[in-house]
């Protein structure tokens, strides 16, 4: 009888729901945060960064754009390990957890945020709805 264990990625059974292969529930607390909440959370974070950046540079300047990005990155790196997610994440009922369990630590927020800041990795998702930035950092965004 042939071995039923998959040997390549293409042989994996599709997930029944995002997070199934990670041992996460389909719905409710600790389920994978869905796209609507994610978009709202990043919009909140970006809006806060824009408002704070207005203290340092006029809105229509190139400097304002860079200051906004810097503030956005700083907020992610500071708030993920301290409150479990960004301000937007927490307002939308989300939090970031390491796949391995325990505390998210300091390096995961840095790696995740640098990749998020270059945008493209956040647009590449797997069947668990984890962006490339979450996969590399070993994290998952779940409902609180």
Model-level pTM?
A: 0.84
Q: Give pLDDT, residue 81.
A: 97
Q: Measure the CA–CA gap between 117 and 39, rounded to whole angstroms.
A: 15
Residue with tokens 């796209």: 35
Closest by CA to 46, choosing from 88, 96, 82, 83, is 88
Rounded to the nearest 5 degrees, what angle is found at the Cα of 90, between the Cα atoms of 84 and 95? 40
Q: Give pLDDT, residue 1.
A: 45
**What parts of the chain have a pLDDT lower than 50?**
1-2
Q: Measure the CA–CA gap between 44 and 133, rounded to whole angstroms.
A: 19
Tens digits of residue pLDDT in 9-21: 556 677 888 888 8
Q: Give pLDDT, residue 50.
A: 97
Q: Give pLDDT, residue 22.
A: 87
Q: Measure the CA–CA gap between 33 and 91, rounded to whole angstroms.
A: 13
DSSP 139: E
Beta-carbon count within 10 A of 15 CB: 16
Q: Give pLDDT, residue 119.
A: 81
Q: Give pLDDT, residue 25.
A: 92
Tens digits of residue pLDDT in 49-74: 999 999 999 999 999 999 999 999 99
Structure-token pair, residue 104: 């998210």
Q: Which residues, at least 6 apart from 107, have a Cβ–Cβ distance to it below 8 Å? A: none
Q: Pairing relation of β-strands 139-143 and 94-98?
A: antiparallel
Q: Environment class of residue 108 by beta-carbon count within 10 Å: exposed (0-12), middle (13-18) or buried (19+)? A: buried
Q: Give pLDDT, residue 12.
A: 64
């Amino acid at each position: 009888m042939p071995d039923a264990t998959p040997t390549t990625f293409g042989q994996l059974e599709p997930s029944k729901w995002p997070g199934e292969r990670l041992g996460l529930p389909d719905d409710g607390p600790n389920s994978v945060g869905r796209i609507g909440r994610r978009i709202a959370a990043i919009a909140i974070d970006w809006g806060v960064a824009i408002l704070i950046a207005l203290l340092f540079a006029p809105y229509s300047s190139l400097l304002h754009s860079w200051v906004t990005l810097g503030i956005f990155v700083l907020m992610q790196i500071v708030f993920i390990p301290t409150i479990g997610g960004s301000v937007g994440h927490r307002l939308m009922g989300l939090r970031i957890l390491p796949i391995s369990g325990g505390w998210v630590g300091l390096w995961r927020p840095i790696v995740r945020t640098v990749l998020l800041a270059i945008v493209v990795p956040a647009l590449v998702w797997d069947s668990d709805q984890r962006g490339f930035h979450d996969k590399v950092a070993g994290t998952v965004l779940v409902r609180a």
